[in-house]
Every structure is written in C-alpha cells, then in structure tokens.
C-alpha cells in the first residue's frame, strides 16, 4: 500500500470518526411551538389571485374564498407612501388598477380611490376591464374582517428599499395592536426581513424561511449532515422544486417535521401532486383554486 493511499484512508477514517462524534455531541433543536400552527389537519390558504369572476386581492375575492371554506389566506403586502400596509402583489399598480406608478408613491387614501378590479379574468378566463366598485384592501381590514382565519403575509418590499426597511417594525406594530399574534405567519424570500421582524416580535409570531434558509436546510438534509442543522423558521413555504433540487420528497418533509417545522407547498399544479404531498406530511397548500385542495384534504383526513 502506497503512502498516498495510507494518507487518504487515514483522512477518510478521521472524517467518518468526526461525523460519528458530531452525531453524538450535536443535537438539533426543534422550533418552539407556535399557536398559529397548532392544528391537526392540513390547511388550505387561498392566494386570492387569478380567481375567476372576482378581482385579485379585493374583499370580494377574500369573501368568496371564505365562503368556500378555506382555512385562511396567503397575501403579499407592501407599504404605501404614508406607511400603511396594503395587500398588493406587484410593485407597480397598473397591472390591476386604473392608476400608474408604484404602490409606495401613493398614500393609502389615494390608492383607495383606484379601481382595484380594473383588469381581471372573467368566468371564461378572459381578461376584462370594468369598474367593479372594489378597492384595495389594507392588512388591518383583512385581519379585522376575518378574525377566525389564518393569514400568511409575504413581505414583498426588498430590505434594501426605504419601504422594506420600515416594513418589519410597522408589521409587528399592526399585529400587536390587532392581537393577531396567534394567527399570522410572516414570510419573505429575504431571510433578512424575517430576522428584522423578530427583533420586534421576539419569536411570538410564526415566521417562514427565506430562499437562503431553504437552501441551507436542503443542503443539510441531502448531505447527511442534518443533525447539524438548526432551523431559523417555523414554516417552509416552498414549491415542489428549487431549480434542479426536488423539495417534494417525503424524506425532506419528515426531516423538517422532526424539527417542528411545518411544510407548506405553493404552485402545485394538479390534484394528484397535492394528494401525494399531503400523504407525505405536508401541513398546508397555498392555491388560487381552493376547492380542489379542500376536497383532497377532506378525502385525506378521512383515511
């Protein structure tokens, strides 16, 4: 046996020994339980976007979803010029209203004058323009209108913007004022935003993982170093894939579940995929077609 081979074997053995030692010494810390996630059966959160016959993110859309029987909503939020939190998907307003420019360029009162149903799909799926009498909804209005439902809010403004820098503190103040700590999930693709939010909330509100946290968790899971991973979020709101990496496996869901992290899936395109995810242990589905997901969950929970 050559010297290089001996060295390689020695290094390899040392690596295995270090890995085995870390399994004994390092113990993952599950996330503390959050009241917002203390439910037995999977939940359906309606995105209230691209729903036929009702304008996106309007009270008409939320009311329709609530009548169907959803467990809550998943919405994007942005900050107005006068620092009010409104429910709005896009940075600019011309996609869905008869105004133009950015959300942050208008006060909340000014945005309330916009036709929030200016462009939306009718029952045939065709986009039409008309005055629907619907206005933009604030997060406060949604919280107060549906006090029994779970609301997952996605902080859309980048932390590098003025609006994004203010959003975590403004959001916490609103949640505290409305007493909604136990039925709000705060999410953002930017982990920095949920970290900032927790400076105020002090872990009193359930938070979701950003893109970097999801990548970190999947790397730990797939590399067999999962015992070294300690989650920084209570919820993973993910698609079935991130790039080439599959995030929809039962193993990955189980890995996170053991750490007391709930796994929600969005952008699931068919009923068979939803059923597979629920059987694998997914805790929630985010969808703009809640009837399909609700029917599958009813079937799933009757097993």
Instruction: Return the bridge partners of 77, or none.
Output: 87, 155
Spatial separation of the C-alpha atoms in residues 180 and 150, rounded to whole Å: 9
Average pLDDT score over residue span 161-183: 97
Dig out the tokens for 302 from the structure.
Answer: 């009757």
* Structure-derived torsion over alpha carbons of residues 282, 202, 36, 260, reported in degrees to the nearest 10: 30
The answer on pLDDT for 31 being more than 70 is: yes
Instruction: Say if CB 261 and CB 231 are below 8 A apart.
Output: yes
What local confidence, expressed as pLDDT, does residue 6 receive?
52
Instruction: Return the bridge partners of 263, or none.
Output: 236
User: For residue 113, what is the enclosing H or E element?
Assistant: none
* Torsional sign, CA 145, 57, 285, 210: negative
What local confidence, expressed as pLDDT, does residue 13 receive?
46
* Structure-derived torsion over alpha carbons of residues 294, 87, 190, 284, reported in degrees to the nearest 10: -10
Expressed in angstroms, the distance from the first to the final Cα of the chain is: 59
Q: Give residue-wise pLDDT tens across range 47-105.
A: 998 777 788 899 999 999 999 999 999 999 999 999 999 999 888 998 788 899 999 99
Instruction: Say if CB 25 and CB 228 are below 8 A apart.
Output: no
Residues 6 or more apart in contact with residue 275 via CB below 8 angstroms:
296, 299, 300
Instruction: Say if CB 198 and CB 184 are below 8 A apart.
Output: no
The answer on pLDDT for 1 being more than 80 is: no
| Main-chain phi, psi angles of 247, to 5 degrees | -110, 10
The answer on pLDDT for 299 being more than 90 is: no
Single out the residue of 169, 283, 180, 96 nearest to residue 87, CA to CA.
96
Q: 296 exposed, middle or buried (CB, 10 Å; 0-12, 13-18, 19+)? A: buried
Spatial separation of the C-alpha atoms in residues 12 and 6, rounded to whole Å: 10
Parallel, antiparallel, or unpaired: how do β-strands 119-121 and 241-242 relate? unpaired
Q: Give residue-wise pLDDT tens across range 227-266.
A: 899 999 999 999 999 888 899 999 999 999 999 999 999 9
What local confidence, expressed as pLDDT, does residue 29 receive?
86
Mean pLDDT, the chain, integer: 88
What local confidence, expressed as pLDDT, does residue 8 receive?
46
Single out the residue of 47, 54, 85 nearest to residue 180, CA to CA.
85
What local confidence, expressed as pLDDT, does residue 59 receive?
94
Spatial separation of the C-alpha atoms in residues 201 and 34, rounded to whole Å: 13
Cα–Cα distances (Å) from 208 to 74, 122, 173, in that order, read: 12, 33, 19
What local confidence, expressed as pLDDT, does residue 16 receive?
44
pLDDT higher for 130 or 248? Answer: 248
Instruction: Return the bridge partners of 43, or none.
Output: 284
Q: What residue segments make up the domains of the chain, in order of their start?
A: 29-300
Task: Sort residue 246 into left (φ over 0), alpha (ψ -120 to 50) or beta.
Answer: beta
| Main-chain phi, psi angles of 274, to 5 degrees | -60, -45
Per the listing, tokens 């709930």 go with: 262
Instruction: Say if CB 58 and CB 135 are below 8 A apart.
Output: yes
What local confidence, expressed as pLDDT, does residue 283 receive?
96
What local confidence, expressed as pLDDT, does residue 181 receive?
98
Instruction: Return the bridge partners of 262, or none.
Output: 235
| Domain covering 29-300: architecture | Alpha-Beta Barrel (3.20)
Spatial separation of the C-alpha atoms in residues 146 and 154, rounded to whole Å: 18
């Amino acid at each position: 046996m050559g010297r290089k081979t001996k060295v390689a074997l020695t290094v390899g053995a040392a690596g295995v020994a270090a890995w085995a030692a870390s399994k004994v010494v390092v113990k993952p810390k599950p996330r503390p339980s959050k009241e917002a996630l203390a439910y037995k059966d999977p939940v359906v959160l309606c995105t209230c976007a691209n729903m036929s016959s009702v304008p996106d993110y309007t009270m008409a859309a939320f009311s329709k979803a609530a009548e169907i029987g959803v467990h809550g909503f998943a919405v994007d939020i942005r900050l107005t010029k006068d620092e009010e939190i409104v429910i709005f998907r896009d940075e600019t307003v011309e996609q869905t209203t008869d105004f133009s420019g950015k959300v942050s360029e208008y006060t909340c009162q000014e945005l309330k004058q916009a036709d929030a149903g200016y462009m939306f799909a009718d029952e045939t799926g065709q986009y039409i323009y008309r005055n629907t009498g619907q206005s933009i909804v604030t997060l406060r209005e949604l919280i107060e209108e549906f006090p029994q439902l779970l609301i997952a809010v996605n902080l859309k403004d980048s932390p590098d913007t003025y609006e994004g820098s203010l959003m975590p503190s403004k959001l916490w103040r609103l949640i505290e004022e409305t007493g909604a700590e136990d039925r709000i999930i705060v999410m953002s693709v930017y982990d920095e935003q949920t970290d900032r939010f927790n400076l105020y909330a002090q872990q009193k509100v359930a938070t979701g993982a950003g893109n970097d946290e999801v990548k970190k968790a999947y790397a730990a899971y797939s590399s067999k170093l999962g015992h070294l991973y300690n989650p920084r979020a209570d919820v993973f709101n993910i698609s079935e894939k991130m790039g080439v990496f599959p995030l929809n496996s039962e193993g990955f869901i189980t890995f996170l579940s053991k750490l007391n992290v709930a796994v929600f899936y969005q952008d699931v395109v068919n009923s068979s995929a939803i059923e597979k995810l629920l059987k694998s242990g997914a805790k929630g589905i985010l969808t703009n077609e809640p009837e399909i997901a609700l029917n599958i969950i009813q079937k799933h929970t009757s097993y």
